[in-house]
Amino acid sequence: MSAKLIWLTGLSGSGKTTIARELHKKLVKNKLNVIHLDGDAIREINGHDLGFCNKDRLANAWRIHRFALYLIKQNINVVCSTISLFHEIHKANRNKFQKYYEILVDCEKEELFRRNQKELYSKFEKNKTQNLAGFDQKVEFPLNPDLVITNNIKDYLTINVDKVIKLIND
């Protein structure tokens, strides 16, 4: 039995990390050997040595990909929450991982601004930040995700996590 990579991707504030954390909890309760990798945590582990330009975002995505590969080879299931909106990464994941589940967490832009996670969107509106993925920075949404979750309503967390569990168990 080979381990699974569950790759949740989407814009900042879309709910990737919240869904991934809850999914991780449920999988642990089911006695699965699983770890949660988060894009921000990987940046922290590596000493915040990368910025947010496309080149640095891609470098971080490759780090996450390689770390996931390292864990999968040890038969550890990986739930990953990361922006990593690059076709190159999605293709590499599909080619490298036997059990790869690509999930796009979609959220309306108005809702992203309302949530204003990390104050990114308010800073962007005031021209106090740049390199905001999906706004002034080009992103490549997955071409053929295994699942698209529309995450505009916070109360749907359990429903969204259950959709992912159903996907990975089919």
Instruction: Encode pLDDT of 15-27 as tens digits.
Output: 999 999 999 999 9
The arrangement of secondary structure in 5-169, i.e. its CATH architecture, is 3-Layer(aba) Sandwich (3.40)
> Is the CB of residue 136 less than 8 Å from the CB of residue 130?
yes
Unique residue bearing structure tokens 């991982």: 97
Average pLDDT value for residue range 120-136: 64
pLDDT, residue 110, reads 85
Average per-residue pLDDT for the chain:
90
Is 14 designated active site?
A: no
Choosing from 2, 14, 84, 122, which is the catalytic residue?
Answer: 84
Task: Please determine, for residue 134, whether its predicted confidence score (pLDDT) is greater than 70.
Answer: no
The pTM score is 0.90
Distance CA(162)–CA(157), nearest Å, equals 9
For 85-117, write each residue's pLDDT tens digit.
999 999 999 999 999 999 999 988 888 878 777
- Which parts of the chain are beta strand (E)? 5-9, 34-38, 77-82, 100-106, 147-150
